[in-house]
Amino acid sequence: MREKTTLPPAAKTTARATENDFDTLPPAMALHTLLLMLLAVFVGAFAAVVVLPTWLPALSESLLGPAPKAYWYLSRASAFVAYALLWLSMALGLLMTNKMARVWPGGPAAFDVHQHASLLGLAFALFHALILTGDAFIGYTPAQVLTPFASDNYEPFWVGLGQVGFYLFALVGLSFYVRKFIGRQIWRLIHFLSFVVFGLALAHGLWSGTDSGTTWAQAIYWFSGGSLLFLTVYRILVSRQSKTKRARQPAS
């Protein structure tokens, strides 16, 4: 009679990833690393808004003034970086559940990039909001930036949707660290909020972004939305096909 073999922990982890059970893997980024990164965003935004113009008065002409210049450009650039990272995180998540990530870059690698992209996207989204407090044209206060629908300075509804999306984005990202406390099913339900986050981010970008009318911005929105729609539909079809195969299998 053949003896039952026991896989080492590393082999078990690989086997779980191969079976597409990525939600049992540990967080790819340590919690203290995430907190330090978010702290760096706060410090960096504060330095850009308060410290640099005071310490380097020569920069005041380009950083301050009634016309949107440096702060506005920084906010716009960080917004698109955050949006791209959100798309990458969601695309990898769908590729993993569709089992397409086995081909490239591989299950564990896809999971690591998926989570890192999500948390980095959260950091850039935070910077995108905070840096606007330095722009004199709109005149956001920190409270208006951090509170959804708290300002009527500029497109309050669409900006508010982006703010709600940010907090949901944070909820999804931080859920990696409380997964063992809330249970697998609740964690998976929270993770489905990613679709809501992307929808809010897309609406926020389309109707409050000043670059939405440009060809390159529209190309980004069409490609990102279309590719995620395709991967989502493909995931639904694969799931239905798997259920049908299981239902047709004879009971052992």
| Cis peptide leading into residue 105 (ω within 30°) | yes
> For residues 11 and 2, is the Cβ–Cβ distance under 8 A?
no
The pLDDT confidence band at residue 167, using thresholds 50, 70 and 90, is very high
Taking the CB of residue 49, how many other CB atoms lie within 10 A of it?
19
- 72 lies in some domain: yes
- 39 lies in some domain: no
Residue numbers of the domain that contains 193: 67-228
Question: Which position has the higher pLDDT, 179 or 4?
Answer: 179
CA distance linking residue 220 with residue 217, whole number of Å: 5
In the chain, the number of structural domains is 1
Question: Which position has the higher pLDDT, 32 or 66?
Answer: 32
Q: What is the pLDDT of residue 56?
A: 58
Query: 116 to each of 19, 90, 211, how far by Cα in Å?
Result: 21, 12, 27
Residue 98 reports pLDDT greater than 50: yes
- 51 lies in some domain: no
pLDDT one-digit tens code per residue, 61-84: 555 555 547 788 889 999 999 999
- Report the predicted TM-score, pTM, of the whole model to 2 decimal places: 0.83
- 160 lies in some domain: yes
- 13 lies in some domain: no
- 172 lies in some domain: yes
- 103 lies in some domain: yes
- 249 lies in some domain: no
